[in-house]
Structure 1
Amino acid sequence: MGAEEEEVEKKHALIFTYGTLKKGFSNHGLLQEMMEAGEAKYLGVYRTVEKLPLVCGPYRVPFLLNFPGSGDHVLGELYSISADRALIRMDDLEGTSRGHYERLPVKLVGDEDGDGDGDDDGDREVIRWAEAYYAHRSYAEGMWERNRDKEEGYFSNYTDKQAKGYVHRKDRPQHLSFLDHIRLFLSFSTD
């Protein structure tokens, strides 16, 4: 890799989206804006190499849990985003400074053309390292305990089925913080 390619790579981050940032879901508008501004590029459909739990919490918000070996191989979309302004916007949306999510490494596999179709069109699979927004460690175990033994408690792909009942941020009770919503969700029995 030449010096110029290394410099370009340093200015971009690879972000794996598995929930509301995917095409067709409520927060994808942020990525759409960034793509239109030249701050992001869609790279294709990928899945996690390791099994990881993907669960829904309060208001059908999806959470990827950092418990490798549990759950399933998670399907999502990979984006290259500018590592300055765009990454700051995504971190803000995901509440990384407020303890909502943590941006951590994830190992992914996908077709070299990024179409994720899995057909036999001569594509070879490629492994890539990226980052994903995982549920913060302060509540991740509680989220896993609440979901692991439920029928369809975790899943491999956040689809319209899992998103049914999703409540947009503006429509949630505003007198409680996101972490308050999580604490309340975890405090009620699933029975």
Structure 2
Amino acid sequence: MARVFVYGTLKKGQPNYKHMINTAKGLAKFQGRGRTVEKYPLVIAGKYNIPYMLNIPGTGHHVAGEIYSVDDQMLQFLDEFEGCPDMYQRTLMRIEVVEWEGKGGAGEARAAADGIMECFVYSTTTYPPEWVGLPYHDSYDSSGKHGLSYVLRESRD
């Protein structure tokens, strides 16, 4: 099982969470909530209001999200869903555990107990330069006060 940190539309209560609980796509088990150890710019961009974490460590905010354990099938689905490696790149990032529900071996408990663990995160190094000037968010909610509702793929032109 791999650990994945999601900060956007795949979180609970967000438009694409349905994919995380669709066992036909693989297994994803919620482990807890966390935030990036480094600061990153989280922007909402493009005509479909997609959340992007720009891979610019040290700029922006400690981004909040959820930690999942996923099997190989789900990881492969997420790579395809996230347009990896073209739109997003999957990289390991250090995540500070804020709340832990996961149950597992001593190694997993120890990783969570010291507060920091490595998780795969979908961020991007390929984006229009003007995105750096967009407002930075510390957490994402499709129906947040930013007023930029995410457009589902099936509703795009």
Category of TM-score, reference length = shorter chain: 0.7 to 0.9
Deviation at 1:129, TM superposition (A): 0.4
Task: Give the structure with higher Rg (CA).
Answer: 1
Give the secondary-structure state (helix, strand or coil) at the position aligned to 2:131.
helix
Matched, 1:70 2:59: yes
Displacement of 1:164 in angstroms is 3.9
Which of 70, 88, 100 does residue 101 from structure 1 map onto?
88
Partner of 2:155: 171
C-alpha contact 2:37 2:95 (8 A) present in aligned 1:
yes
Does residue 143 of structure 1 match 2:131?
yes
Q: Which moved more, 1:52-61 or 1:154-163?
A: 154-163
TM-score (structure 1 length as normaliser): 0.69
- Report runs of 4+ in structure 1 exceeding 6 Å deviation: none
Query: TM-score normalized by structure 2?
Result: 0.82
1:81 aligns with 2:70: yes
In 1: Cα distance, 2:14 partner to 2:147 partner: 9
Higher strand share: 2
Q: Which amino acid aligns with 1:100?
A: M
Aligned Cα RMSD in Å?
A: 2.3
Q: Which runs of 5+ in 1 are unaligned?
A: 1-11, 116-122, 148-152, 174-191
Q: How far apart in 2 are the matches of 1:67 and 1:154?
A: 12
Residue in structure 2 matched with residue 157 of structure 1 by the alignment = 139
2:17 is the alignment partner of 1:28: yes
Preserved contact between residue 50 and residue 69 of structure 1 (Cα < 8 Å): yes
Task: Deviation per CA, 1:105-153: give whole Å up to 9, x if none.
Answer: 11111146349xxxxxxx9551100011012x22164421x41xxxxx0
Give distance in 2, aligned partners of 1:130 and 1:109. Answer: 10
Cα distance in 2 for partners of 1:51, 1:32 equals 29
Q: Deviations over 1:19-64 (max 9, x none)?
A: 0000011111111113x88722101110111111100011211000
Q: CA deviation at 1:95?
A: 0.7
Alpha-carbon contact 1:44-1:114 (below 8 Å) kept: yes
Higher helix share: 1
For these two proteins, the number of residue pairs brought into alignment is: 145
What amino acid maps onto 1:30 in structure 2?
Answer: H
1:43 aligned partner? 31
8 Å contact 1:112–1:126 — kept in the other structure?
A: no
